[in-house]
Amino acid sequence: MNVLIVEDERIAYEKLKALIANIAPEIHVVGNARSIQEGIELLNGKSRIDLAFFDIQLEDGLSFSIFEQTAPNIPVIFTTAYDDYAIRAFDHYSIAYLLKPIQKTDLKKALDKFKAMKPQDDYSEIVLKAIRQAREESYKERFTVKVGTKIRLIDTVEVTCFYSREKGTYIFTNSGKHYLIDYSMDQLEKMVDPKQFHRINRKHIVNVHAIDRVIQYTNSRLKIALNPQFDEEIVVARERVKAFKKWLEGE
């Protein structure tokens, strides 16, 4: 049996590969995709793949995009570090998932579930339905912030950008207010709708609806002007410019 692992963290990949070898030595891992593009290329390649493990959050976006662009008719076992992320959708469609750090007993159950499956001509459609439902259910819609002794709710539609400064992470709203929140930038990137929000560098995640204009900048970078105006320069990192342009165009 040939297996593809879509995982951008080398340690996580090696651990999963070792667990598979220990539980089911007859399984052959044919490749490791570390990005959306690599996943697409491997699924469209010549190697026969019987099963794939998809880490949901990759460095360049959600691995859902790989399945949506290739629709391979193979079973998928999703892996995630977040126990509230798309779990209901996968449960509903009886698709296996594993919570990180992956445990041997959980992996064995997932593989047993796969082995017990009946061949389905429309498996890709089942997974696509689950992905669509997961996308709708999994993105955070509001945040709680402290204002003095009170707690206020901030809807994501009010957020102009998220940013980190010194040791804190903040929301900047469309009313020009700044609020401290209890999440890291890495956590926020996974929580918000990628169609609406995009991480342009290590310190900023911007709302597409808050972008007033984009300006050519030094070293092949781009500078963003937000509305309302933000109090520091916001620059798209050079290595993120290509992905940023695609995001602006809705790709």
pLDDT of 121 > 70? The answer is: no
pLDDT of 131 > 80? The answer is: no
pLDDT digits (tens, 9 = 90+) for 191-217: 888 889 999 999 999 999 999 999 999
| Phi, psi for 237 (deg, rounded to 5) | -60, 145
25 burial (CB, 10 Å; 0-12 / 13-18 / 19+) is: exposed
Mean pLDDT of the chain: 87
Q: How far apart are CA 196 and CA 154, in angstroms?
A: 16
Q: Which domains does the chain have, with CATH numbers?
A: 2-138 (3.40.50.2300), 142-248 (2.40.50.1020)
Q: Are strands 97-99 and 76-80 parallel, antiparallel or unpaired?
A: parallel
pLDDT of 189 > 80? The answer is: yes
Residue range 149-167: mean pLDDT, rounded: 93
Q: How far apart are CA 20 and CA 131, in angstroms?
A: 25
pLDDT, position 115? 82
* pLDDT bucket at 30, cuts 50 / 70 / 90: very high
- Of 249 and 120, which is predicted with more confidence? 249
Give the helix ranges, DSSP H, for the chain: 10-23, 36-43, 64-70, 87-92, 104-115, 123-138, 185-191, 241-248
pLDDT of 23 > 60? The answer is: yes
pLDDT, position 245? 92
* pLDDT bucket at 153, cuts 50 / 70 / 90: very high
Residue 177 Rama label (left phi>0; alpha psi -120 to 50; beta): beta
pLDDT of 231 > 80? The answer is: yes
The CB density around residue 84, as the number of other CB atoms within 10 Å, is 11
pLDDT, position 69? 87
* pLDDT bucket at 180, cuts 50 / 70 / 90: very high
pLDDT of 87 > 80? The answer is: no
Residue range 58-78: mean pLDDT, rounded: 83
**Residue whose structure tokens are 């609406």:** 196
**Residue percentage of the chain with pLDDT more than 70:** 89
Residue range 101-115: mean pLDDT, rounded: 90
pLDDT of 61 > 60? The answer is: yes
